[in-house]
Amino acid sequence: SDAEVTNQIDIQRAKELKGISEPLVTHMYTADPSAHVFNGTLYIYPSHDIETNEPMNDDGDHFAMRDYHVFSLEQPQGIAKDHGVALDIADVPWASKQMWAPDAAEKDGTYYLYFPARDKAGIFRIGVASSQTPYGPFVAQDDYIQGTYSIDPAVYNDNGDYYLYFGGIWGGQLQRWHNNELSDERYPAENEVAIKPRVAKLTNDMISLAEQVREITLLDEQGQEILAGDTDRRFFEGPWLHKYAGTYYFSYSTGDTHKIVYATSDNPYGPFTYKGVILNPVLGWTTHHSIAQYQGKWYLFYHDSSLSGGQTHLRSIKMTELIHQADGTIKTIDPYEQ
């Protein structure tokens, strides 16, 4: 499969390439870093990668994670403090396996951890857990958030309105959802509009959807919707939203073309117009990021598989400065020195 081939190539490349930044955590494998600044401290909410006997396949069965740890940093690139287990799958009544990329949000002094996992029927759903501290431990709701599906939640706080972005194709199962109903697996043809990422506003209590899940339209520079065959630009997984100078930036992974790209809009629901590449491919099949401002500078949080010698399911989180240029575009980052 594509996953295996990429992994074999990467083991060779891992020995040769020098990263522009070092792993923030080295005593365990971590991935999918969602970063937020709470009370002046930088917190990172990553996946916790583990060794597994599961087969490596295009559904991502080899990503068999079972818990989350939260990390905090007192300065950029500083030592990441491990706050221990924040949530274990054994304490999530509805979940069966695969605790994938999480995110967190704060409201009125309570912290919420949003996370995907397969339910007992094997369908990915998004759950929520809460804590009185940013680092947990978090207590999960008994059931997943009704109306959610697929993976990779990212919550954006727009002056007190909280938007839940989510979705991922292939292993993330978005191709099984049509008009918010679970159905057969259907991919569009290459010349049809690509599968769209999703968004819904959260209720005031942060644990339910306040509206029907909406699809997010992604346009190219000519105002045409991005097509399924445009694999360098179409949405694959890992949505993230940030705002800069009044503009909403929607960024995501292109999956099998291994890039982090972005599109902009004047509305958090979109439509978003494609602008360019934020991060060139990293070692390992997956690429997954977040963007946050800390101590006056913007940073990209990302992962690669350099520490594990290129093993695709054993990743390490990193951070590097992200530059918004004068015209609002983001400077493309190459993760390895030339």
Residue 193 DSSP label: B
Per the CB < 8 A criterion, the answer to whether 169 and 120 are in contact is no
Interface with ligand FUB (CB under 6 A), residue from 7, 30, 34, 47: 47
- Per-residue binding string, ligand FUB, 130-169, x by CB under 6 A, is ---------------------xx---------------x-
Interface with ligand FUB (CB under 6 A), residue from 100, 163, 170, 240: 100
Q: How far is the CB of 61 from ligand FUB (least distance, A)?
A: 11
Interface with ligand FUB (CB under 6 A), residue from 234, 259, 288, 318: 288
Residue 168 or 310: the one with the smaller Cβ distance to ligand FUB is 168
Closest CA relative to residue 217, chosen from 205, 237, 235, 231: 235
Q: How far is the CB of 89 from ligand FUB (least distance, A)?
A: 14
Report the catalytic residues: 32, 237
Per the CB < 8 A criterion, the answer to whether 291 and 298 are in contact is yes
**Tokens standing for residue 154:** 């990212």
Helix %, strand %, coil % for the chain, to 5?
A: 10, 45, 50
Separation CA 47–CA 58 (nearest Å): 19
Interface with ligand FUB (CB under 6 A), residue from 7, 286, 308, 316: 286
Determine, following the binding rule CB under 6 A, whether residue 230 of this chain makes contact with ligand FUB.
no
Closest CA relative to residue 218, chosen from 251, 263, 252: 263
Counting every residue written for the chain, the total comes to 338
Interface with ligand FUB (CB under 6 A), residue from 3, 14, 24, 31: 31
Task: Select the residue whose beta carbon is closest to ligand FUB and give its number.
Answer: 100
Chain centroid to Cα 297, Å, comes to 21
Q: Please give the residue ranges that form the binding site for ligand FUB (CB under 6 A).
A: 31-32, 47, 60, 63, 100-101, 151-152, 168, 237-238, 286, 288
